[in-house]
Amino acid sequence: MIARLPSLNGLRAFEAAARHMSFTAAAAELNVTQTAISHLIRRLEHEVGLKLFKRESRHLSLTAEGRDYLPQVRNAFQDLRLATDRLMRRDHERVLTISTLASLAAMWLLPRMASFQTKHKDIEVRITTSMELVDFRDGEIDAAIRYGRGHWPAVQADWLMADELFPVCSPSLLKGKNALRRPEDLARHTLLHTSAYGEDWRQWLTAAGLPIDPVSRPGLTFDLTLMTIQAAIDGLGVAIGRTTYVEADIAKGRLVVPFKMSLPTDAGFYLVYPSDRAMARKLVAFREWLIAAAHRR
């Protein structure tokens, strides 16, 4: 005869109460009342036909039978947790979640993703966008594409690509009496700004040997680069282009570069991820593909 297993809820109550040596703490952990914990343990004791706890007015302790039973119950729950974790990791191994900037995702990453999907049909890529730094400790994000100098604590950072700064505009602004012909002509045009890159215009004008007066004039400011670039495409003004964000629109003729001078940036894009996940198959595949894609620019 195989002994009938006791109630799983009773075993959970017993394990939690024995670990805390308190019905009150066990109730808080399992989100039930203290009365419910007491009832579940009494039912368990009835099912196994043995007393598991000694109940005194201000003190709770295990009986000899309870002390013998606890390690096996605790190990059983640990085995269940490990088995469940392994089961869920099967799905995690095929789902890759990447965090990046919205503009980079829309203007650079997404147009290239088809080649990764073709090569790795078994990996489902999920892309989330945020301006905030990712906290990898919760395990929801596998890797992030960040802009900076590559110095972030407790993560590994792989260099992807750098940008250059230069003005861009609609081809229409190169025509007519107010046509852009020289950098000095910027004084007659609206400057388009992205709030995250608030110093781009000032740096370029300074490097070009021009006064920074146009920066102080009213213009248009957007919180996303993709909106700034779209405003330039629509002829609303002149934007500072960053190579990553404008190269496709320049190639298709939607934007033009009115002046020859460009300014290298002192930062760039990196793929960032926790060191302890560096060898995960899905991340290795994405990292190799992404670095190759960035180097093909």
**Domain of 252?**
163-265
The CATH number for 213's domain is 3.40.190.10
What local confidence, expressed as pLDDT, does residue 229 receive?
97
- Regarding whether 220 and 100 lie in a shared domain, the answer is no
> Of 3-12, 53-62, 207-216, 283-292, which one has max mean pLDDT?
283-292
What local confidence, expressed as pLDDT, does residue 103 receive?
93
* Position 1 pLDDT exceeds 50: no
- Regarding whether 203 and 68 lie in a shared domain, the answer is no
Q: Give the domain-ending residue among 72, 88, 104.
A: 88
Q: Give the domain-ending residue among 88, 122, 148.
A: 88
The reply to whether 224 falls in a domain is yes
Owner of token pair 């960032």: 272
- Which residue in 191, 190, 195 sits closest to 222, CA to CA? 195
Q: Where are any strands of DSSP class E within 14-118?
A: 53-55, 60-62, 95-100
What local confidence, expressed as pLDDT, does residue 2 receive?
47
pTM of the entire structure?
A: 0.66
- What pLDDT, in 10s, does the model give residues 154-192? 899 999 999 999 999 999 999 988 899 999 999 889 999
- What pLDDT, in 10s, does the model give residues 17-31? 999 999 999 999 999
* Position 193 pLDDT exceeds 90: yes
Q: Give the helix/strand (H/E) hosting 255.
A: none
